[in-house]
Amino acid sequence: MNNFVAIDFETANNYRNSACAVGIVTVTDNIITDEFYTLIQPPLNQYNYHNIQVHGIRPEDTLSSPTFEDVYFEIKQRLQNQLIVAHNESFDRSVLKK
* Number of separate domains in the chain: 1
Kindly report, residue by residue over 34-81, the tens digit of the pLDDT: 999 999 999 999 999 999 999 999 999 999 999 999 999 999 999 999
3-class SS of residue 85: strand
Separation between Cα atoms, residue 12 and residue 78, nearest integer Å: 23
Q: Please report how many Cα atoms fall inside a 13 Å half-sphere around the Cα of residue 20, on the Cβ side.
A: 23
Q: What is the CATH number of the domain that holds 79?
A: 3.30.420.10
Question: Average per-residue pLDDT in the chain?
Answer: 96
Residue 54 has a pLDDT of 96
Structural domain boundaries, residue 59: 4-97
Residue 1 has a pLDDT of 79
